[in-house]
Amino acid sequence: MKKFLLTSIIIGFLASCSTTKIYPRIECHVCLSKSDGILLLPLNWQESFRQLSISEQNELERIILETFREEGFTQVTLYDQMDYELLKTGIKDVDDPIKRANIDLELGIPYLLGLSLGELRWTGDWQNLEPSNPDSGTYWESDTRVSNSLRIALMETATGEVISDYAVTTTIDGLPIPLGEGESASLNFASLAQAVRINVRKGIKNFVADCIC
């Protein structure tokens, strides 16, 4: 029974189903080149991302840069990695239109990319695998679901105009796993951070597909 249960749990973990939907708010109306400079604004500038740990935020920034590289973009940089260059040219506030325009004029970076995190949500309750044995382990019971929404926007540094804005949602559902003797449990080992990672990677890929020439 234990071997069957372990196998079922592994299958449930591997087979958990994720669904991503993308909603254009502003469809990209520029023609991006893979050599264009894009400055990624730090995720922790957005209060919404502070729901995640610093390590999770750092991982997401790594995923964003990695996804761009996979798509052939060579000049995408994290804002924090250009502190010296920005300070040297007197750029301290991207909300200041003159300072922001200098990101393009002085550093040759025409675009800023910003992300904001929407609702992080899960449903379901933790239950013991064996109610009479508190050490038997736990699982998600009933309509288990992990979901997240995310926005990805691109801005021109010279004008401050938002030229691409997408909302992305990802849902990860649990799957019913038979426990034997006519019983089953809905298992979902996905985390909120995992839903955000899926959202980020698929959102960036969609952004590239929409903006690239």
The tens digit of pLDDT for each residue in 65-94 reads 999 999 999 999 999 999 899 989 899 889
Question: d(Cα 168, Cα 83) in Å, to the nearest integer?
Answer: 30
Find residue 120's DSSP bridge partners.
Answer: 148
Give the mean pLDDT of 44-51.
91
Query: What pLDDT, on a 0 to 100 scale, did the predictor assign at position 120?
Result: 79
The residue-averaged pLDDT of 125-131 equals 58
Give the percent of the chain with pLDDT over 70.
75
Alpha-carbon span 100 to 111, nearest angstrom: 10
Rg (CA), the chain: 21
Backbone angles phi, psi at 82, to 5 degrees: -120, 25
What are the residues whose beta carbons fall under 8 Å from the beta carbon of 183, sequence distance 6 or more? none
DSSP 9: H
Residue 158 has pLDDT above 80, yes or no: yes
Chain Cα centroid distance, residue 103: 26
Q: Which residue has the tokens 């209060």?
A: 47
CA gap 211, 68 in Å, rounded = 12
- Can you give the pTM of this predicted structure? 0.79
Residue-range domains of the chain with CATH: 19-211 (3.40.50.10610)
pLDDT in tens, 115-125: 999 887 766 65
